[in-house]
Amino acid sequence: MRMFLISDNIDTFVGMHLAGVSGVVIHSRQHLKEQLTKAVNDKTIGIILITEKFSREFPDIIADVRLNRRMPLIVEIPDRHGTGRAPDFITRYVNEAIGLKL
Protein backbone atom coordinates (compact mmCIF):
# COMPACT_ATOMS: atom_id res chain seq x y z
CA MET A 1 0.00 0.00 0.00
CA ARG A 2 1.18 3.50 -0.69
CA MET A 3 0.44 7.05 0.43
CA PHE A 4 -1.09 9.77 -1.72
CA LEU A 5 -1.09 13.52 -1.00
CA ILE A 6 -3.85 15.99 -1.78
CA SER A 7 -2.39 19.43 -1.11
CA ASP A 8 -3.46 23.04 -1.50
CA ASN A 9 0.08 24.34 -2.02
CA ILE A 10 3.14 23.43 -4.03
CA ASP A 11 5.55 23.57 -1.06
CA THR A 12 3.88 20.70 0.78
CA PHE A 13 3.63 18.77 -2.48
CA VAL A 14 7.35 19.19 -3.23
CA GLY A 15 8.37 18.23 0.32
CA MET A 16 6.28 15.08 0.28
CA HIS A 17 7.41 14.26 -3.26
CA LEU A 18 11.03 14.40 -2.09
CA ALA A 19 10.04 11.88 0.62
CA GLY A 20 8.64 9.56 -2.06
CA VAL A 21 4.93 10.37 -1.71
CA SER A 22 3.04 11.05 -4.92
CA GLY A 23 0.15 13.47 -5.04
CA VAL A 24 -1.60 16.45 -6.56
CA VAL A 25 -1.96 20.16 -5.90
CA ILE A 26 -5.52 21.41 -6.23
CA HIS A 27 -7.36 24.67 -5.59
CA SER A 28 -11.10 24.05 -5.97
CA ARG A 29 -13.90 22.08 -4.33
CA GLN A 30 -14.74 20.25 -7.56
CA HIS A 31 -11.14 19.24 -8.17
CA LEU A 32 -10.90 18.00 -4.55
CA LYS A 33 -13.96 15.80 -5.06
CA GLU A 34 -12.57 14.41 -8.31
CA GLN A 35 -9.10 13.65 -6.92
CA LEU A 36 -10.43 12.21 -3.67
CA THR A 37 -12.79 9.90 -5.56
CA LYS A 38 -9.96 8.83 -7.83
CA ALA A 39 -7.65 8.16 -4.85
CA VAL A 40 -10.32 6.26 -2.89
CA ASN A 41 -11.00 3.98 -5.86
CA ASP A 42 -7.30 3.22 -6.35
CA LYS A 43 -6.76 -0.03 -4.44
CA THR A 44 -2.99 0.57 -4.19
CA ILE A 45 -3.51 3.63 -1.96
CA GLY A 46 -3.73 2.85 1.76
CA ILE A 47 -3.32 6.35 3.21
CA ILE A 48 -4.48 9.67 1.82
CA LEU A 49 -2.66 12.66 3.26
CA ILE A 50 -4.71 15.84 3.04
CA THR A 51 -3.77 19.31 4.20
CA GLU A 52 -5.68 20.73 7.16
CA LYS A 53 -6.89 23.63 5.04
CA PHE A 54 -9.06 21.29 2.96
CA SER A 55 -10.41 19.63 6.08
CA ARG A 56 -11.47 23.00 7.45
CA GLU A 57 -12.88 24.33 4.17
CA PHE A 58 -14.66 21.18 2.94
CA PRO A 59 -15.45 19.02 5.99
CA ASP A 60 -18.50 17.48 4.28
CA ILE A 61 -16.43 15.93 1.50
CA ILE A 62 -13.86 14.49 3.91
CA ALA A 63 -16.50 13.25 6.38
CA ASP A 64 -18.39 11.47 3.61
CA VAL A 65 -15.34 9.38 2.75
CA ARG A 66 -14.48 8.71 6.39
CA LEU A 67 -18.00 7.57 7.24
CA ASN A 68 -18.67 5.47 4.15
CA ARG A 69 -15.29 3.85 3.48
CA ARG A 70 -13.02 1.64 5.56
CA MET A 71 -10.06 2.16 3.29
CA PRO A 72 -8.05 4.25 2.65
CA LEU A 73 -7.22 6.03 5.87
CA ILE A 74 -7.41 9.84 5.61
CA VAL A 75 -4.79 11.71 7.63
CA GLU A 76 -4.82 15.48 7.99
CA ILE A 77 -1.40 17.10 7.92
CA PRO A 78 -0.33 20.70 8.53
CA ASP A 79 0.98 22.62 5.56
CA ARG A 80 3.83 25.12 5.36
CA HIS A 81 1.83 27.63 7.40
CA GLY A 82 1.73 25.26 10.35
CA THR A 83 -1.20 23.66 12.07
CA GLY A 84 -4.48 25.35 12.85
CA ARG A 85 -4.82 23.36 16.05
CA ALA A 86 -4.23 24.59 19.58
CA PRO A 87 -0.89 23.68 21.20
CA ASP A 88 -2.64 21.42 23.72
CA PHE A 89 -4.71 19.63 21.07
CA ILE A 90 -3.52 16.11 21.90
CA THR A 91 -3.85 16.52 25.68
CA ARG A 92 -7.36 17.97 25.30
CA TYR A 93 -8.32 15.18 22.90
CA VAL A 94 -7.17 12.49 25.34
CA ASN A 95 -8.99 14.24 28.20
CA GLU A 96 -12.23 14.25 26.22
CA ALA A 97 -11.80 10.68 25.00
CA ILE A 98 -11.16 9.00 28.35
CA GLY A 99 -12.61 11.59 30.71
CA LEU A 100 -9.42 11.84 32.69
CA LYS A 101 -7.50 15.05 33.23
CA LEU A 102 -3.80 14.67 32.50
pLDDT of residue 102 exceeding 60, the answer is no
Question: Which H helix or E strand runs over 40?
Answer: helix 29-41
Q: Per residue in 12-44, pLDDT tens?
A: 888 889 989 999 999 888 998 898 889 999 899
Is residue 98's pLDDT more than 60?
Answer: yes
Global confidence as pTM? 0.74
Other CB atoms closer than 10 Å to residue 51's CB: what's the count?
A: 23
> Which residues constitute the domain of residue 71?
2-98
Confidence at residue 90, expressed as pLDDT on a 0 to 100 scale = 60
Q: Domain count of the chain?
A: 1
Q: Using one digit for the tens of pLDDT, what is the confidence trace for 46-58?
A: 889 888 888 888 8
Are the C-beta atoms of 29 and 53 separated by less than 8 Å? no
The CA-based angle 48-17-54, given to 5 degrees, is 40
The CATH number of whichever domain residue 6 belongs to comes to 3.40.50.10580
